[in-house]
Amino acid sequence: MQITEVKIYPMDEDLVRAYVTIVFDDCLMIGEIKIIKGTTGLFVWMPTKKQKDGTHRDIAYAINTETRNMIEEAVLAEYEKVVADGDPVSSGRSVSERILREGR
């Protein structure tokens, strides 16, 4: 399984730095991912749904450490590139497009 697209939508909210969508193998998209500013730095928050009792239930999440690390690394790397480019809305570039552009 490969991440084939990462779209970053920068925000200037209290703790939320960006909303993210990722696509796996050009056939499965997960949205409502957040990049959160924590006390030790940025981290990726997978989508949740607020329950009637005020708690949150995970909607999509990695079931192993390897996949979680792959998602975090791809999302945070793309976020850093978008912030460095100064793009106010979204990179709109897929991971594969960026790799081709950078000649990797």
What global pTM score does this model have? 0.78
- CATH superfamily placement of domain 3-48+55-90: Stage V sporulation protein G (3.30.1120.40)
What pLDDT does 77 receive? 94
Q: Which pLDDT score is estimated for 89?
A: 52
Q: What is the largest CA-CA distance in the chain?
A: 50
pLDDT digits (tens, 9 = 90+) for 31-60: 999 999 999 999 999 999 999 999 999 999
Identify the segments of the chain with pLDDT beneath 50.
91-104
pLDDT of residue 14: 85
| For the chain, domain boundaries | 3-48+55-90
d(CA 84, CA 99): 17
Hunting for tokens 């998209």 — which residue is that?
29
Encoded tokens for 33: 């991912």
